[in-house]
Chain A
């Protein structure tokens, strides 16, 4: 038994680890598992979707083999433990890139499918599952289910965004997108408030493939119009050969006893960040790694929230009420005095998600992080929940460690349908919290 935490570092409980390294042995390892388990890749989800205290974790990072890549069609087949980073480093020199990646590329293909992750390109490319052509799913009773958007589409829809609960994803086929090289033509634009943000994002949706905004969630204060920030947009660009930036890997060396993100630090942090970005606003050619994954070079950055860990709170609300709901959430946060440094705002495109439990839906998504201050933080979340629920929105399970069953059920109306596809030998802390078993 080993102590395992997820990315939010909110809990540390013993788990029994079983490494799935050899595809030929997975079936027997799953069948003979002493207790129900859940697949565990890089542990980058924030809450409890990848945890199973006192139970089994099936480690998938040993399933890190490429199986086939067709340079003429951009079709890649690989095992589920392959990292998105390794795919892109392999394929970009050949002119292919993943159309959708989240804010870190240090996640496995299996995790990206099971959480149906999204990125800055949602309004153009949808979510990760929109580019999966085939999944090989291994059930704990030994059955192998091959599914895709056109074959056994019901299993596919259950497994994409299925939180690992329909079986263990062992292999996938991904359709990549053509790209000229690793460079992006980017533009950074400061905005003063949410009105301006929504104008910018609407104006950018047709001409820019990647859009995202950072918002300074404590600007403006209580009465004022919170929501100044920095809007970033980018397109892949053909700028020929250039020397690649030398990424310097750093590691957060220790876990401070108290969060470094706190009332004292947050205001100067945000003011500095805003002004630095504002000062450097404008067009720039950027390499894809710093543009998409700015935190990947600071290993274990999650430690900066101190020994009690931190919560992510990511919601999506429909566009019609998006601005009001976002404004209301920012107001609640400003009132609480707690704030978030990594506050990210983005509009999702107007498209139906591929999975029954996929998070993205048309509207506005706001992602926030909060150091864990116990009850005080939970009280703030309860107020934010009320806003999300009233707006007919939902929260992102990959980041959640505390939403209620009622909110989950209200946000995910296809949950009853999904339950038909669950694997009885699979259980996670999240499934017990939100679905009973």
Chain B
């Protein structure tokens, strides 16, 4: 549907306690560390100074951390805040937090948990952190659908809805997690791979820098 040209100028993949940035292992935590501790350690390693992080649900913390790593290396400040779009997807929407919220209902329902019972809140948290005001969407698919995410992001770039798009996959359920974020830009950057389905899949699989 959309076949203009764009480039992948950054990526961040987080799984199995390892954080990859542009295909290079940047940091890893001790195997067996529980998800909340892993996220906290990752936050301490890559960022700090954002106390709101601790109030987020696990999905938002993971997406926030992946975006943090992604954007430390990408030249996002070259884009207007209203021209940065975000297209994310996952398998379990906010179910991990829905269940936590439900557990509080029999006592006193927690407002702080309720606000995270929607998958798109992770996009909101990334936007709040970086001031992005562009178009954004959240899709739920059985597995990471590189074709859907790429074509939607490409469409936003082709139709001038955005000049850059953060897109990918952020999944959390019962302590299992995985994130793969891409920074796609319309402008040509030498050495950056083309924003094609094949390249998106290769980066997701860990077979490309």
Q: Do the two chains belong together in a single complex?
A: no
Query: B residues within 8 Å of A by Cβ?
Result: none
A positions within 8 Å CB-CB of B: none
